[in-house]
């Protein structure tokens, strides 16, 4: 979708008339766009990443066939949930998955797990992987194996936190993020009408956004108020020299909308 074409126009709401650039992958952007429009924002969609299956699916398939060996299975994204559910269906191990102890970062993965009939024994609403590792720590025994389906370049704080508490983490690539293309007409449109706000859902998204923009991208990004989905993304923006104007208190579309409202008012 060209960034010059807003999703919708609404005359009232806490974001009335504000142009908000949404950089999330298409599969993760619909609800966020709808909620932003409900607050009166003019949503500009520019997905900078595309979510794809792993280049080598064998490790995920192997893990799906050996689920009973793991003391816990931990999920940090809805995409990881969908990937393991699909792999378990292919392996005929969905029953084993439903008997497993699972943990989730954020309400979206937790809700999808429950919808699929899984027993979510631990979850955190915010704080990212580090927060989940802290919650799981007292429930882990030395040497417990924890399966962690994750993105190929996903954040590592959950893995590091679990390993620091004595777990043996088996991390398998469940999906990968590939940079989406944008033609010069789309980028020229973005530069000619710079949005007031830009929303980032991960450090990789922020990096890919700057890569997509090329020369002058940092200056353009500095002209928008940046909204981060959580502290890890906010820290990445800080390292890039583009500090967040607001950070979502919960890693959800609703949390991002609240943060966008705070960023605009601030």
* pLDDT tens by residue, the chain, 266 residues: 444 345 444 457 999 999 999 998 876 788 999 999 999 999 998 888 888 999 999 999 999 999 999 999 999 989 999 999 999 999 999 999 999 999 999 888 999 999 999 989 999 987 788 899 999 999 999 899 999 999 988 778 899 999 999 999 999 999 998 887 766 777 888 888 999 999 999 898 999 999 888 888 899 999 999 999 988 899 999 999 999 999 999 888 999 999 999 999 97
The pLDDT value given to residue 10:
46
What DSSP state is assigned to residue 100?
S
The pLDDT value given to residue 105:
92
The pLDDT value given to residue 55:
94
The pLDDT value given to residue 263:
97
pTM for the full predicted model: 0.75
The pLDDT value given to residue 158:
93
Q: Per CATH, is 53-175 categorized as 3.20.20.70?
A: no
Inter-residue contact 29 to 47 (CB < 8 Å): yes
The pLDDT value given to residue 153:
80
Query: What are the sequence ranges of the domains in the chain?
Result: 19-48+180-265, 53-175
Class of domain 19-48+180-265 (CATH, top level): alpha beta
Q: What angle do CA 189, 193, 196 make, to 5 degrees?
A: 130
Alpha carbon distance 181, 190 (integer Å): 14
Residue 261: phi and psi, rounded to 5, are -65, -45
Alpha carbon distance 116, 120 (integer Å): 11
Judging by DSSP bridges, how do beta strands 101-105 and 225-228 pair with one another? unpaired
Q: Where are the alpha helices (DSSP H) in the chain?
A: 26-38, 58-64, 78-91, 94-99, 107-115, 128-136, 157-164, 184-192, 203-213, 217-222, 231-239, 253-265
The pLDDT value given to residue 3:
47
The pLDDT value given to residue 238:
96
Q: What angle do CA 193, 207, 123 make, to 5 degrees?
A: 110
């Amino acid at each position: 979708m060209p960034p010059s074409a807003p999703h919708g126009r609404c005359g009232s709401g806490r974001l009335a008339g504000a142009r908000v650039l949404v950089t999330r992958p298409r599969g993760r952007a619909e609800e966020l766009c709808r909620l932003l429009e409900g607050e009166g924002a003019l949503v500009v969609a520019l997905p900078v990443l595309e979510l794809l299956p792993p280049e080598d699916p064998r490790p995920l398939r192997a893990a799906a066939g050996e689920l009973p060996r793991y003391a816990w299975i931990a999920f940090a994204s809805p995409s990881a949930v969908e990937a393991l559910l699909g792999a378990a269906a292919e392996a005929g191990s969905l029953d084993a998955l439903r008997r497993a102890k699972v943990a989730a970062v954020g309400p979206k993965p937790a809700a999808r797990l429950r919808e699929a009939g899984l027993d979510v024994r631990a979850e955190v609403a915010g704080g990212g992987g580090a927060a989940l590792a802290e919650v799981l720590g007292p429930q882990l025994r030395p040497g417990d194996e924890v399966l962690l389906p994750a993105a190929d370049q996903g954040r590592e704080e959950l893995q590091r936190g679990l390993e620091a508490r004595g777990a043996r983490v088996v991390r398998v690539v469940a999906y990968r993020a590939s940079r989406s293309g944008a033609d010069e007409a789309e980028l020229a449109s973005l530069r000619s009408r710079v949005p007031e706000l830009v929303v980032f859902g991960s450090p990789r998204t922020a990096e890919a956004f700057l890569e997509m923009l090329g020369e002058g991208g940092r200056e353009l990004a500095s002209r928008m108020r940046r909204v981060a989905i959580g502290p890890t993304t906010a820290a990445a923006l800080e390292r890039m020299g583009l500090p967040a104007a607001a950070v979502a208190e919960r890693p959800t579309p609703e949390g991002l909308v609240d943060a966008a409202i705070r960023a605009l008012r601030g």
